[in-house]
């Protein structure tokens, strides 16, 4: 299949960027990132600068493959990261527009690569949990109810890709932060630092320049792990109690 790609090219955060047009031939069985690999091989062969984009596991786990495809973070398929998106979801002759995640707190490094270290600082602000180190404890020492464990696991599936921020008209990080807060607020191991954790993480989120939540719920719609916005309600309740 022959495709026309309009890709955002920008050398660094200090220079202006623009969309540049490329032609590429891809197989419908390729993943989206494999298609970009083919494009970069062609560019390198022509002694041109390849397109910079992030990737790591290519299995939908690491959250590195952050890009906006035809206006949608991670592309047109819900519950899917960019590396899990395959070219069979496009047609021969299609034009595909590929841009980086756009947010003040995610400055562009180069082309499709953005600096998402703001997420790391939010997690770091959450600190630690007070548990004994050493040999692993017996699994049944701290019984956790099935409903609580399931809810905590659903929140913990957040991979920190930033699609929620890219989808939000306010560039809010509420879904990401609330998933991290909720995960540890539900399980017994997270109780000791519970109040301090939510205060620190919310304050750090604000310091990073993320916008406020206005309940558009685009974050939930575009999240590749389908994290629920009910986590935001949980975090708000935790924060009110903490202050």
The pLDDT of residue 130 is: 82
Map out the domains of the chain with their CATH numbers: 2-109 (3.10.20.30), 117-242 (1.10.1060.10)
The pLDDT tens digits for 14-57 are 999 999 999 999 999 999 999 999 999 999 999 999 999 999 99
Question: How far, in whole angstroms, is CA 143 from its chain's centroid?
Answer: 32
Q: Which two tokens stand for residue 114?
A: 């953005």
- What is the pLDDT at residue 102? 95
For 29, 160, 161, 184, 192, the CA distances from 234, given in Å and listed in that order, are 41, 18, 21, 12, 18
Average pLDDT over the chain, rounded to an integer: 95
In Å, how far from its chain's centre is CA 19? 23
Task: Tell me the pLDDT tens digit for each residue of 131-169.
Answer: 777 787 777 788 889 999 999 999 999 999 999 999 999
For the whole model, what pTM was predicted? 0.93
197-223 per-position pLDDT tens digit: 999 999 999 999 999 999 999 999 999
Q: What secondary structure, in 3-state letters, does 41-96 show? A: HHHHHCCCCCCCCCCCCCCCCCCCCCCEECCEECCCCCCCCHHHCEHHHCCCCCEE
């Amino acid at each position: 299949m022959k495709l026309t790609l309009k890709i955002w090219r920008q050398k660094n955060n200090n220079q202006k960027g623009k969309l540049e047009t490329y032609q590429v031939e891809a197989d419908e069985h390729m993943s989206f990132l494999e298609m970009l690999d083919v494009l970069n091989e062609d560019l390198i062969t022509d002694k041109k600068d390849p397109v910079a984009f992030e990737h790591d596991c290519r299995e939908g786990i690491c959250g590195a493959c952050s890009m906006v495809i035809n206006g949608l973070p991670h592309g047109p398929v819900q519950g899917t990261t960019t590396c899990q998106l395959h070219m069979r979801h496009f047609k021969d002759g299609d034009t595909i527009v590929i841009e980086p995640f756009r947010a003040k707190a995610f400055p562009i490094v180069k082309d499709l690569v953005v600096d998402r270290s703001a997420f790391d600082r939010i997690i770091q602000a959450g600190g630690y949990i007070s548990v004994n180190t050493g040999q692993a404890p017996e699994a049944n020492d701290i019984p956790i109810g099935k409903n609580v464990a399931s809810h905590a696991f659903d929140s913990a599936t957040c991979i920190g890709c930033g699609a929620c921020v890219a989808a939000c008209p306010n560039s809010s990080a509420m879904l990401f932060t609330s998933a991290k807060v909720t995960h540890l607020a539900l399980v017994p191991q997270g109780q000791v630092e519970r109040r301090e954790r939510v205060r620190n993480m919310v304050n750090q989120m604000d310091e990073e320049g993320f916008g406020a939540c206005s309940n558009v719920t685009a974050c939930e719609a575009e999240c590749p792990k389908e994290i629920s916005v009910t986590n935001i309600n949980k975090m708000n309740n935790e924060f009110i109690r903490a202050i």
